[in-house]
Amino acid sequence: MLCAVDSWWRSAVIYQVYPRSFADSDGDGVGDLPGITSRLPYLAELGVDAIWLSPFYRSPMVDGGYDIADHRDVDPLFGTLADVDALLARAHGLGLRVIVDIVPNHTSAAHPWFREALAGDGRDRYIFSNVPNNWQSLFGGPAWTRVADGSWYLHLFDPAQPDLNWRNPQVREEFAAILRFWLDRGVDGFRVDVAHGLVKAVGLPDLAGGAAIPYFDQDEVHEVYREWRKILEEYPGERMAVAEVFDSTPERVARYIRGDELHQAFNFDYLEAPWDAGILRRIIDASLAATDNASWVLSNHDRQRHRTRFGSVARARAAAVLTLALPGSAYVYQGDELGLPEVLDIPAELRQDPGKDRDGCRVPLPWLGDAPPFGFGPSARSWLPMPADWAGLTVQAQRDDPGSVLALYKQILRVRVRLDGPLVWLPAQQDVLLFGRDGGFVCAANLSGAPVALPAGEVVVASGPLPDGELPPDTAVWVR
């Protein structure tokens, strides 16, 4: 087990790129790999260490690409395998690592294996039953769909996403080969989709009130990650994997990142927390107690953007200053650095998300200009409509404005590389989060309704103005 204390991912800032919505190079209104490659210098300049690419594989795009029909090819919407190679080369040339999504819980219904299964062959790669149980899909409705011969197949998500049977060794072998395929191409790691869902309880028991969830967090799932860790360690350069595990406690999540399993897990408790000092502190403490390798997440492609969730730009700015001062790694979702709000008024007929209301955080990024699609691509098209009033939020508008959210992120990321050591809480007023790190750095975040005293020292980062030498409400600073 190679696990240097200073492995890059332990303190990395990893920027999530949602390929459909990052940058469109060919004018079809959908972002693509060459678009991402062309904008990599922007991310290098921002100061992140790595990017995580949401799926770009062959897919009918029922669930935004989380329904994969061919794990070893790129969907024509996004480009070609040669475009992946070019992206990796450019990113590595700029000093950025690249991790890619792997979606092992299910395939697309268009995957050759599922087509064969429908025709009656190889059904044991999926979960078929003559008697469905009471499980519900996470997208709503029953988790079972009936096929022509009267039997049913399981799908924890959309009916177009049949769940794989991880008790079948063929499934395990196939995914080991898929990992190697991408590692051989040079990716630096994986983000593991629904990592806790792969193995279902023997006998597929009904979900009973109060009992453990029979389709999540089964002990056998850890065997899969022990095998994956060995594969990752066959490769040089500290390849890593980060797990999406939700509906769980910090202690259960920590089991996925034991020394011989995956490297990191998203912190959903933190992502789901309200703007409340007491709750945030409890979650920070519980997270740090459960693992010495915590991660911090404010937004992603599935959740309402935190500027809207917290209720103001000031809070989003303060949250960035607070979050990026915490020990561990941080995941930044594209557009966080621009302070984008959730788009709440996408007309029903233009919405694309199958199960949940997730389009509002997936609106394409505004790069430049005064009108939609704000330089997203060379045409006037964008796969989701962009708000007409985003001109002030474009990269171009923020780049040279020292008061912009973008300037704040750049400054945070420049100083953050000097942060080190454990978090030490310091005595503070009610609803103020105040802690130190090594080297004399102190972070103060005021979540109360009134100004409080600034900690002594030189202010090196501030989320907003500091009138009268005080720390106003919804403001955070780093002082040294």
458 given a catalytic annotation? no
Query: Which one, 174 or 431, has the nearer CB to ligand GLC?
Result: 174
Distance CA(162)–CA(155), nearest Å, equals 5
Beta strands 295-297 and 50-53, pairing class: unpaired
Q: Which of 450, 440, 442, 441 is nearest to 475 (CA)?
A: 450
CB burial string 464-476: b at 16+ within 10 A, e below:
beeeeeebbbbbb
Distance CA(310)–CA(476), nearest Å, equals 14
Q: Least distance to ligand GLC from the beta carbon of 261, Å?
A: 19
Q: Least distance to ligand GLC from the beta carbon of 103, Å?
A: 6
Q: Least distance to ligand GLC from the beta carbon of 244, Å?
A: 6
- CA atoms lying within 13 Å on the CB side of residue 333: 26
Q: Least distance to ligand GLC from the beta carbon of 197, Å?
A: 9
251 given a catalytic annotation? no
Question: Could you give the strand order of the β-sheet that contains 295-297, starting from the edge strand earlier in sequence?
Answer: 264-265, 240-243, 189-192, 97-102, 50-53, 13-17, 329-333, 295-297
Query: Which one, 57 or 157, has the nearer CB to ligand GLC?
Result: 157
Spot the catalytic one: 193, 261, 359, 474. Answer: 193
Spot the catalytic one: 85, 234, 247, 251. Answer: 234
Q: Which residue has the tokens 């210098």?
A: 41
Q: What is the CB neighbour count within 10 angstroms for residue 461?
A: 21
Distance of CA 319 to the CA centre of its chain: 17
DSSP for 144-182, written as a single string: EEE-TTS-EEE-SS-TTSPBB-TTSHHHHHHHHHHHHHH
Query: Which one, 155 or 410, has the nearer CB to ligand GLC?
Result: 155
Query: Which one, 189 or 436, has the nearer CB to ligand GLC?
Result: 189
Q: Which residue is nearest to ligand GLC (CB)?
A: 66
Q: Least distance to ligand GLC from the beta carbon of 247, Å?
A: 11
Q: Least distance to ligand GLC from the beta carbon of 139, Å?
A: 8
Is residue 39 classed as helix, strand or coil in its secondary structure?
helix
Q: Where are the beta strands (DSSP E) in 375-480?
A: 424-425, 432-436, 442-446, 452-453, 459-462, 470-471, 475-479
Query: Which one, 244 or 269, has the nearer CB to ligand GLC?
Result: 244
Q: What is the CA radius of gyration of the chain?
A: 22
Query: Which one, 228 or 441, has the nearer CB to ligand GLC?
Result: 228
Given the rule CB under 6 A, which residues bind ligand GLC? Answer: 63, 66, 103, 157, 193-194, 244, 301-302
Q: Which residues are catalytic?
A: 193, 234
